């Protein structure tokens, strides 16, 4: 138990018990006075270090790790022992460490989650223990403000990872803190263990999850609802982020619960927001009004349709009717361009179909595919969210370059092993004229003596600011208008000629997004109104900084 004020933390913990608490541990930064009061003498090396000195030592240890996954393991171990140092280190080296704690390396960590498991973090709610959800939530005595929950069924482009999806939740919440300033003691990663259909995990004796096939939809939705209702009883004002749910569950869950509590789906809405913002910046660079553009998608899952929906809303804001905007969107899935005579489409896909009669003659095969769309519709931009590598072929890129002076080509599938085409391929095949964005980080591309930066459509540009703004204003819901505000704010934050702001400017951009989101929530009546100056102060007060405070014994 501990109490915190601006200058001091009072705790009943002492000795090794205190050192094992990652939120309170300062390790070698405990002063001699603290060591005496907290019974730490002899438990630490005699030298007293500053946080800055600890960061330099930790960065040296990080740097000598020979592989990305070993760097990830090192940072996770640091997070589990001293969270203040962990976040101070990340903030000093965010651009370098982001791919390690998040995509693409977190994908490997999810695949090896059971093997790499060291210390408890977060909450595991397993289906066989569904009658104990209230008690499980009560086990966390802290006031939780942000929760990231997954069922692990669709982790990045890697498929069903069971409880391994917890790795994504931990990584996302690390970024909520490092970038959005949400205090780490107010965050909670949760895995809903519904079983797994990954036979490799079911056969693995080391797998730590419920070794059972995934439950069916009736049981599944009842289980999720039990969790949501318990969450509303325990932390009714918490922000809930759905993460890595499969296509057939993600949209129904979002539609059902977004009006019940402050919640959003990062794969659908966060991805949509950052991709739409990047597209706005690309349209500005290419000198084309967004509302007059045509966009083709390779991949018509929840992410692709989410991006399409966000773009349509932006087009409507700019004067198009919804019907006109939808006609400018082309969704190509494995069976071809979605049309009104296709069977088995999800409701969110049915909204984005074209009339089959209007695309007759576009192809000599049974379906209309991406190359057919590019030749006949001549889209200004193509966006890959297929999760399948190599589908943006040389022929496709060359045709885009033939159609447009500056073709816009976004290959957004994660991790990098699943990308539709590498930036080097896109730049080379387009003769250096394409405006390129990816989902995973890539180095700049050198082509014909010129260096081309590669924008990473990373959700980190959106969700920390969205969460910070929603919490600061006390929003009841996350509305489409709030997401639009985030998109527009991010788009105008990109320097001229670039598609996204530099990573070293992300904290400033996050603050601007938080302000815009909070103001929009007030405008829509989703949060109590207050003066802008008061709102800005609330945002500042919400931001936690990784700084050591004096630790003292709390005498009961």
- Show which residues are catalytic: 102, 172
Angle of the 83-92 helix axis to the 68-81 helix axis, nearest 10:
140
Query: Judging by DSSP bridges, how do beta strands 8-11 and 2-4 pair with one another?
Result: antiparallel
3-state secondary structure 461-510: HCHHHHHHHHHHHCCCCCCHHHHHHHHHHHHHHCCCCCCCCCHHHHHHHH
Where are the alpha helices (H) located in 287-393, listed in sequence order? Answer: 302-317, 322-327, 347-350, 370-376
Tokens standing for residue 462: 């959106």
- Strand, helix or coil for residue 190: strand
Quote helix, strand, coil % in the chain, to nearest 5.
Answer: 50, 10, 40
The dihedrals phi and psi of 298, each to the nearest 5 degrees, come to -105, 100
Residues pairing with 230 in the sheet: none
> What are 285's two structure tokens?
């660079």
Helix H or strand E encompassing 381: strand 381-384
DSSP state for residue 365 in the 8-state scheme: S
405 near 376, Cβ under 8 Å?
no
| E strand or H helix at 49 | none
């Amino acid at each position: 138990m501990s109490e915190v004020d601006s200058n001091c933390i009072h705790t009943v913990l002492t000795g090794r018990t205190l050192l094992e608490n990652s939120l309170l541990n300062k390790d070698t930064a405990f002063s001699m006075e603290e060591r005496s009061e907290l019974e730490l003498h002899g438990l630490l090396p005699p030298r007293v270090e500053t946080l800055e000195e600890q960061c330099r030592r930790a960065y040296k240890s990080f740097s000598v790790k020979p592989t990305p996954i070993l760097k990830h393991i090192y940072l996770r171990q640091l997070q589990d022992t001293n969270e203040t140092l962990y976040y101070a280190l990340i903030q000093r080296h965010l651009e370098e460490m982001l791919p390690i704690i998040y995509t693409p390396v977190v994908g490997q960590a999810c695949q090896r989650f059971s093997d790499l498991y060291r210390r408890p973090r977060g909450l595991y709610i397993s289906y066989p223990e569904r009658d104990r959800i209230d008690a499980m939530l009560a086990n966390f005595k802290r006031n939780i403000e942000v929760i990231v929950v997954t069922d692990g069924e669709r982790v990045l482009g890697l498929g069903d990872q069971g409880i391994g999806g917890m790795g994504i939740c931990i990584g996302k919440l690390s970024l909520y803190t490092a970038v959005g300033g949400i205090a780490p003691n107010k965050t909670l990663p949760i895995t809903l263990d519904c079983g797994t259909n990954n036979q490799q995990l079911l056969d693995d004796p080391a797998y730590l999850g419920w070794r059972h096939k995934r439950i069916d939809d009736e049981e599944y939705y009842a289980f999720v609802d039990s969790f949501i209702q318990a969450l509303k009883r325990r932390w009714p004002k918490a922000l809930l982020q759905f993460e890595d749910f499969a296509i057939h569950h993600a949209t129904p869950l979002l539609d059902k619960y977004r009006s019940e509590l402050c919640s959003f789906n990062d794969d659908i809405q966060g991805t949509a927001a950052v991709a739409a913002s990047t597209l706005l910046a690309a349209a500005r660079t290419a000198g084309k009004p967004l509302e007059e553009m045509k966009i083709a998608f390779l991949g018509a899952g929840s992410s692709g349709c989410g991006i399409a929906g966000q773009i349509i809303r932006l087009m409507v804001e700019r004067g198009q009717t919804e019907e006109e905007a939808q006609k400018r969107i082309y969704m190509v899935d494995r069976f071809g361009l979605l049309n009104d005579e296709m069977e088995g489409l999800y409701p969110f896909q049915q909204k984005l179909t074209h009339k089959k009669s209007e695309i007759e003659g576009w192809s000599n095969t049974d379906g209309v595919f991406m190359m057919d769309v590019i030749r006949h519709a001549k889209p200004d931009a193509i966006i890959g969210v297929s999760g399948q590598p190599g589908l943006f072929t040389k022929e496709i890129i060359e045709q885009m370059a033939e159609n447009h002076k500056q073709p816009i080509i976004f290959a957004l599938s994660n991790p990098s092993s699943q990308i539709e085409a590498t930036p080097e391929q896109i730049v080379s095949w387009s003769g250096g004229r394409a405006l390129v964005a990816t989902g995973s980080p890539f180095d700049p591309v050198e082509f014909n003596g010129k260096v081309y930066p590669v924008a990473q459509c990373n959700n980190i540009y959106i969700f920390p600011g969205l969460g910070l703004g929603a919490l600061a204003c006390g929003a009841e819901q996350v509305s489409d208008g709030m997401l639009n505000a985030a998109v527009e704010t991010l788009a105008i934050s990109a320097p001229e000629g670039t598609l996204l702001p530099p990573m070293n400017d992300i904290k400033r951009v996050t603050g601007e997004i938080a302000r815009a989101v909070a103001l929009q929530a007030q405008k829509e009546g989703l949060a109590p109104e207050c003066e802008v100056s008061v709102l800005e102060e609330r945002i500042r007060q919400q931001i936690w900084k990784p700084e050591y405070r004096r630790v003292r014994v709390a005498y009961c």
